[in-house]
């Protein structure tokens, strides 16, 4: 049986995230599995590199699946391109070893959160950026970002309710750039908890607007109390840029 690695690009605007739900068909995973199952004429299960929230996008989402299908990689790519919705594209397929697992083998993920900090929205990018007219102080945002870098218990930066999983994660870097009013927050980490990416972005936005202070960020990291800390950025500004193995 073949083990095939896939890289997927998708616009998450109209989907309930990556992961298949018990009810409903509006997820990326469901759409891809349906097309693969039809192509291979067998039930195909796709394993993803992790969940993405409702409305979040991906430039290079990684997944894998097992199949007995004998089609060439090029034939599979053509089939997927023809039958998947226009807002989902499988960019590449690759036969890999049996031990490759898109979820378990991840070393780090890189996300980008994009903010349009101009007065007027851009009609062509409005579905992929968070529009904030109030001018943000990117220098203060950079200072706050430094507090989050490294290994920390991010319990105060997640909406995860269960206590059965560790909330310790490592943020390797956070880069903040600003060009012509477009602010990009790029962050890389060994893993992210539920809503953690958007909470980090929302926290930095709140710092930039002066609504909270850097000391508030430090306090939440130390006290690990999510209920005392609220900022969460809108999903549409977040994109999974890459997955590193």
Q: How confident is the model at residue 228 (pLDDT cuts 50, 70, 90)?
A: low
Specify the range with the lowest mean pLDDT, choosing from 16-30, 71-85, 196-210. Answer: 16-30
- CB neighbour burial string for 191-226, b if at least 16 within 10 angstroms, e if fewer: bbbbbbbbbbbbbbbbbbbeebeeebbeebbeebeb
End-to-end CA distance of the chain: 22
For residue 222, pLDDT over 70 is answered with yes
Give the lowest-confidence range in 68-82, 130-144, 218-232. Answer: 218-232
Contact 198/114 with Cβ under 8 angstroms? Answer: no
pLDDT tops 90 at residue 57: yes
Residue 224's pLDDT is 83
- From residue 188, alpha-carbon distances to 7, 13, 27, 107, 170 in Å are 18, 23, 25, 10, 9
Active site residues: 53
The string of pLDDT tens digits covering residues 85-96 is 999 999 999 999
CA distance 41 to 43: 7
Query: pLDDT band at 31, cuts 50/70/90?
Result: very high
Name, in order, each residue with C-beta under 8 angstroms of 10's C-beta and a sequence gap of 6 or more: 28, 57, 58, 61, 87, 88, 89
What is the pLDDT of the chain when averaged over all its residues? 94
- The answer to whether the beta carbons of residues 12 and 57 sit under 8 Å apart is yes
Q: How confident is the model at residue 225 (pLDDT cuts 50, 70, 90)?
A: confident
Q: What is the pLDDT of residue 161?
A: 76
pLDDT of 226 reads 79
- Compute how many other C-beta atoms are within 10 angstroms of the C-beta atom of residue 116: 21
Domain extents in the chain: 2-96, 108-244
Task: Kindly tell me if the per-residue pLDDT of 163 is higher than 70.
Answer: no
Q: Residue range 36-61: average pLDDT?
A: 96
Higher per-residue confidence, 127 vs 226: 127
Q: What is the torsional sign of CA 100, 103, 106, 109?
A: positive
Rounded to an integer, what distance in angstroms lies between the CA atom of residue 162 and that of residue 180? Answer: 42
**Residue 68 tokens, joined:** 């007995």
Q: Report whether 153 contacts 167 (CB < 8 A).
A: yes
CATH no. of 2-96: 3.30.70.580
Q: Specify whether the CB–CB gap between 184 and 176 falls below 8 A.
A: yes
Helix intervals (H) in 93-178: 138-148
Average pLDDT rounded to a whole number, residues 207-235: 88
Same CATH topology for 2-96 and 108-244?
yes
Dihedral of CA 76/78/79/84: which sign? positive
Judged by average pLDDT, the poorest of 35-39, 79-83, 128-132, 213-217 is 213-217
More reliable by pLDDT, 146 or 223? 146
Going by pLDDT thresholds of 50, 70 and 90, the confidence category of residue 137 is very high
- Report the CATH architecture of 108-244: 2-Layer Sandwich (3.30)
Residue 23 has pLDDT above 80, yes or no: no
Average of per-residue pLDDT across 93-102 = 97
């Amino acid at each position: 049986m073949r083990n095939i690695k896939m890289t997927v690009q998708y616009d998450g605007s109209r989907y309930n995230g990556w992961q298949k739900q018990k009810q409903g068909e509006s997820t990326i995973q469901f759409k891809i599995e349906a097309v693969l199952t039809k192509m291979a004429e067998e039930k195909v299960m796709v394993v993803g590199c992790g969940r993405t929230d409702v409305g979040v996008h991906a430039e290079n989402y990684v997944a894998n699946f097992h199949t007995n299908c004998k089609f060439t990689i090029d034939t599979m790519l053509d089939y997927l391109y023809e039958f998947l919705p226009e807002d989902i594209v499988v960019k590449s397929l690759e036969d890999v070893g049996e031990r490759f697992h898109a979820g378990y083998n991840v070393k780090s993920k890189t996300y980008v959160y994009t903010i349009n900090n101009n007065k007027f929205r851009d009609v062509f990018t409005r579905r992929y950026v968070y529009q904030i007219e109030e001018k943000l102080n990117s220098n203060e945002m950079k200072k706050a970002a430094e507090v989050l870098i490294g290994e920390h218990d991010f319990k105060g930066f997640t909406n995860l309710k269960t206590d059965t999983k560790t909330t310790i994660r490592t943020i390797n870097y956070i880069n903040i750039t600003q060009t012509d009013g477009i602010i990009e927050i790029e962050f890389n980490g060994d893993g992210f908890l539920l809503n953690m990416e958007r909470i980090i972005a929302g926290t930095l936005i709140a710092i930039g607007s002066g609504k909270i202070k850097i000391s508030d960020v430090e306090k939440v990291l130390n006290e690990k109390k999510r209920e005392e800390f609220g900022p969460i950025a809108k999903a549409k500004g977040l994109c999974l840029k890459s997955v590193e193995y």
